[in-house]
Amino acid sequence: MESLPLRHFKEINNWDTVIFIYNAALKEIGTKIDILNDEFQHRHKYNPIEHVKSRLKQPESIVKKLKKHGYESTIENMVKYINDIAGIRITCSFTSDIYRIAEMIANQDDLTVLSIKDYIKYPKESGYQSYHMIVTVPIFLSDSVIDTKVEIQIRTIAQDFWATLEHKIYYKFEGNAPAYISRELRECARMVSHLDERMLRLNEAISESKERGDAS
């Protein structure tokens, strides 16, 4: 069985086939995440993952992004330069879960981590917080194996709420929101960070109390 790494994706010149492969990659990663969550529940009686959402980038968005960076709209350029064609977003309750989940994913033998961006420790100027991983997963076809990139975003429920609102505002103002709205968003991001820290401390206190067998 021939192995086709990312650089040989150019041998595929059919758009529907490319989308099929990226959709298969989403299924592979989604199954892994489900199993890891089930295993964590089995071992620790606790689910670190609240919700998982997957999506494929629309063709017009891919073309727009390629043009923005000065690349021709070819399948080869799409595969080489666009890392978020296939994306999975994982939401969890606490920031500690984010790093726990990221570690479990990185430890999968058949996944290769290409890059990590920790916007929780180092938030964007806008206030955006999330943990991003670009990984490749092998897709086994009848006559080949194709390593396919998937972007994984891991964030708390509060961070996800903020990011969803920020995305809506960004879309409404086409990336040029009024200064006062940007300031409010940054302030809300600080509040989200503070809330996550307090909720994590509260959860840790509850866990310690249970271990000691404290009365209510």
d(CA 144, CA 164): 38
166 annotated active-site: no
Helices (H), the chain: 15-44, 59-68, 75-81, 95-106, 157-172, 179-212
CB 25 within 8 A of CB 139: yes
Q: Please identify which residue in the block is written with the tokens 């404290």.
A: 214
d(CA 193, CA 64): 32
Catalytic residue among 28, 151, 204, 208: 151
**Nearest in space to 161 (alpha carbons), one of 135, 183, 113, 128:** 128
Instruction: Give catalytic residues, as residue numbers.
Output: 151
